[in-house]
Every structure is written in structure tokens, then in C-alpha cells.
Amino acid sequence: MRNILTVTTSTLMGNYEIEKYYGYISINFVTGANFLRDWFAGWTDILGGISKSYTRELDELKSMARNALENKARLLDMNCILGLNIDLDPIFGSNYSMFMVSATGTACKITNLINDDSNSEEENIKLDLSRLYSNTLISNAPLDFYNCTIDEVEGFLASLPSGSEKMLVDKLIEELGNNPTKNIFSGFKDNIDSVTEFLLGKNFSEVCRYVTDDITKEKALFIKTFNIIDYSSILEQFKNLDNNDTKIDLLVSLTAKPPLVTKDNFYALEELIDLLEKKFQKEITIKSQGFGKKKDMWICKHCGSPVEMDRQSCFNCNYDRYGLPSRITRYVAGDGQIFNYEKRISNLKSIYEILKKYYSNK
């Protein structure tokens, strides 16, 4: 099947040239949803928490819409969709609920300006990673870059002299440290794409190493936002941990979704996953509980308390079974988002599996 490059922005990064615009394309369909399941999901929202099954089905609907739009582009002999937008509109009745699902974008035909083998492989890696992030619906944080318009942001970036990546990085890291996150990341997504394009286009590897060296809270936020990460540097810092704060900063940086990973970083990622799985193993014990009955418990690494297996965090200190605070609010603008180590390691493994088919036999 012919690959379709699908992006949410109206412009392309990298060595692409648009040969032909077809124009605006769209698809829509209506799908039913079980009313009782929706009713329970609604009560989950009211009482607190997240309905995992409901969220998963919404993700599947978005994936279906994207695939349908890409199939339409293939039929038109186009290989790219710009400005992808997916909407899910609920339709309610007396005893049922349904969704109107629609996807839109601009279809066009693109060519790669550099067609050598190494560049082709690089572009394939970017495409595969982009699909992974899209299918798992891990989206970038929006950034209102100093409350400027898109044109002003692009003009600012274009005016920076060669080699000024570090100047920009330092300024952004400083802003993250001195301002409430929710005030900085409150605008529209096109701006963050402009900044990211600049950072990736100048000297990707150098910027990655510079940002990832000596992780701090502010640098972790920068990495999380702009997806600029060097796994080799992260690996070395995990090997030399000296305090719990550094551990948390490093783990937060692993939420990055790098658009490209080099061969050296691939091997570092492999070693990093192995190190994390050994370092954060669950400690399980069997505790006797009257009349010889035995019960599985996990032992809190932070305070040593035995905790029942079905609990996600320790009732005594609120740390999870991996020895991490169950809520890390300072990284998510105070909204109390749960930091999920298992999800972090799962995402890293997904990235690794994609890279494996390109690098493992070389």
C-alpha cells in the first residue's frame, strides 16, 4: 500500500517539494455507541477518573477517520495530506447515542528533493514515528510563542543568525522556569511547529545533546514540549543518579516524541529500556493473613509499607509501586495529571520496535 504523509500543519518540514495541489478533501460517517456504556462513562467523569474503554473507542474512531481520508487521497493519486483535522460530534436520541465522525485536509502530491538511500531511510523513520504518535494520539503541547502571530514567530526565527540554536534554547528554557506553564502553553499549535522546524532544521544532533545534558526541571519541560531528546545523554544520567528530583526530571523528559532517532541513539535507547526495567522492578511479597491464608502484596520502595496488589499507590506516602510520586503536578500546570511509569516504558518500547527494523541488522 502506498504510504501517505499526513501532517496537522499547513506546511511541510524537510526536503519535500509540492508538485501538485488537488485541494480540500473530506470524509464523514456516523457510528453508533452503546448507550449504557456511555452512561457509565458519564458517571465516571462526574465522580472523577477516566473511562479507559470510552477513551480507547474514541481513539479508534479517530484512527478510522484518518485511514479513510488517506485512502481517499490514494484514490486521487495523491501522497500527502496537509492540515489534517478530525472532529467527533455526538448525536443523542431518546435511548441511543451516535457520533458523526469527520476528517478533512488538503490533498497534494509531493516529491523528496534528496533521493539517496540514507535520506530515504531517514524519511521512512520519520514517517513511521509520526504514525506511531498519531495512532496513540500523543499530541504536542501548544505554545503561544510570546503571544506573537505565526508570521511574527517565523520572522523571528528566520532573523536569527547561524548557530543561534543555543541562544533560542536558553531563552525558552528560561521562560519555562520563570512563568506558569499554563500561561506559556496556551496558544495555537502552528507556533510550536515553527519553533520545532527551526530547531530540527539547523543542527538536530547538536541541539539534542545541548538540551539533554544535565537535566533540570526546566530542561525536562523543554524536552517534553519540543521533542528534542538525546537518549545517550539521558542514559548516562540515569547511570549516575544522585537524588530523587533528578530521577523525576529524567523520567518526565522521556515523554518526548522525537521525530527522528539516530543509530547511536537507537542503541542507547535499547540500553536505557533495559536499565529502567531493572531499576524500577516491582517488588512483590506474599504476606500471611490469618489461618494460613496468603495474600500478594507489593512493598513501597519509599516508606516500606506493604500495599495490596490492587492499589496503584501507597496509602501511607502516596508513592507508586515503582518508588515514584503518584502525582507530579509541577510538570502539568497544576492539573494533577497522573504520571504513569508503565505508559512511559511502553511508549519507549514502541519507539524502539519501529527503529529496530532500520538499525538492528547494521
pLDDT category, 158, cuts 50, 70, 90? low
Place of cell 492499589: 311
State percent of the chain over pLDDT 90: 7
Using CA atoms, how far residue 322 sits from 160, 258, 284, in Å, is 44, 25, 11
Contact predicate 33/57, CB 8 Å: yes
E-assigned strand segments in 162-311: 284-288, 294-299, 306-308
The pLDDT value given to residue 249:
77
The pLDDT value given to residue 188:
36
Query: Quick one: 5-113 is in which CATH superfamily?
Result: Hypothetical protein apc22750. Chain B (3.30.110.70)
Q: Which amino acid is residue 299, in one-letter code?
A: I
Round to whole Å and give the CA distance between 240 and 302.
19
Residue ranges covered by each domain of the chain: 5-113, 145-280+341-359, 281-323
pLDDT category, 182, cuts 50, 70, 90? very low
Contact predicate 319/325, CB 8 Å: yes
pLDDT at residue 99 is higher than 60? yes
The pLDDT value given to residue 189:
42
The pLDDT value given to residue 104:
92
Q: In the chain, count of helices (H) and strands (E)? A: 12, 7
Round to whole Å and give the CA distance between 29 and 218.
43
> Which candidate, 231, 211, 222, places its Cα nearest to that of 274?
231
Q: What is the DSSP string of 52-106?
A: HHHHHHHHHHHHHHHHHHHHHHHHTT--EEEEEEEEEEEEE-SS-EEEEEEEEEE
pLDDT at residue 274 is higher than 90? yes
> Which candidate, 291, 289, 308, places its Cα nearest to that of 299?
308
Place of cell 503561544: 144
Q: Which residue has the higher pLDDT, 290 or 4?
A: 4
**What are 214-227's pLDDT values in tens digits?**
887 778 777 877 77
Contact predicate 186/140, CB 8 Å: no
Contact predicate 150/191, CB 8 Å: yes
pLDDT at residue 127 is higher than 50? yes
The pLDDT value given to residue 263:
86
Round to whole Å and give the CA distance between 36 and 57.
14
Contact predicate 220/250, CB 8 Å: yes
pTM, to two decimals: 0.53
Place of cell 505508559: 343
**For residue 61, what is its C-alpha cell?**
474512531
> Which candidate, 343, 356, 352, 357, places its Cα nearest to that of 137?
343
The pLDDT value given to residue 231:
92
Q: Which residue has the higher pLDDT, 44 or 282?
A: 282
- The lowest-confidence range among 47-51, 248-252, 282-286, 349-353 is 47-51
Mean pLDDT of the chain: 70
Residues recorded for the chain: 362
- Segment 46-57 shows an average pLDDT of 54
